Amino acid sequence: MTYLTQIVDSFEDASITELQVEFTSINNAHCNAEPWLAHLDAPLPVGHWSYCQWRPDKGDTVPTTDEPLLEGDVEQAFFDFERGTVGPFIDLPAPINPFTITPTPSQAEEPASGATTEAAASESSSASSRGLVIAVGVGAALLLLAAAAGITWARRRTS
């Protein structure tokens, strides 16, 4: 929720008007942060269905903490029918926060020392020469392809 709040805050005039979470194959479910609407443990042909909805226009507060929005016990149907596995769903890695990615420093920000300038110059010259080799190779391949097509066309016409 912290990431979602940061995204909303990055816009000048934005707000969260509704937040909902829905999950199947969970039993003994409960919603955190007192939602406006909650359907918990509704029976399905296999398993249960739970739903939580927060709407500020109905008087609730959209949760902004990193606490789980919906908690419960995972049913066997999750593994059998939803093809769930323990690792990716129980031990979720934290999502990447785009607001914390630090940009790589540009060459204008780097101090101009002799060793760094020479290393940067040699890197850029090797990258440009590599690009030149690739361009020449692609050009030669296209010429060979055109020659092969021409020879094939000429042999068909003479036959």
More confident residue, 92 or 5: 5
User: Residue 156, exposed/middle/buried by CB under 10 A (0-12, 13-18, 19+)?
Assistant: exposed
CA-to-CA distance for 32 and 52, rounded, in angstroms? 9
pLDDT at position 56 is 87
Nearest Cα neighbor of 126 from 134, 136, 115 is: 134
Cα separations in angstroms, 144 against 1, 28, 147, 151, 156: 57, 69, 5, 10, 18
What mean pLDDT comes out for the span 42-70? 86
With 60 as the cut, is the pLDDT of residue 144 above it?
yes
Rounded CA-CA distance 61/34 in Å is 8
Q: Which of 6-10, 55-59, 133-137 is predicted least confidently? A: 6-10
Q: Is the pLDDT of residue 126 over 80?
A: no
pLDDT of 50? 93
Burial of 21-36, coded b for 16+ CB within 10 Å and e otherwise, reads bebbbbbebebebebb
Q: Cβ distance 99 to 6 under 8 Å?
A: yes
* Reported confidence tier of residue 28, pLDDT bands at 50, 70, 90: very high
Residues pairing with 137 in the sheet: none
Instruction: Give this prediction's pTM.
Output: 0.48
Name the more confident of 14 and 40: 40
Q: Which of 93-97, 103-107, 108-112 has the lowest mean pLDDT?
A: 108-112
**SS3 annotation, 22-67:** EEECEEEEEECCCCCEEEEEEECCCCEEEEEEECHHHCCCCCCCCC
| pLDDT of 118 | 55
How does residue 123 score in pLDDT terms, banded at 50, 70 and 90?
Answer: low
Length of the chain: 159
pLDDT digits (tens, 9 = 90+) for 62-91: 887 778 888 888 888 887 776 666 554 555
The mean per-residue pLDDT over the stretch 81-103 comes to 58
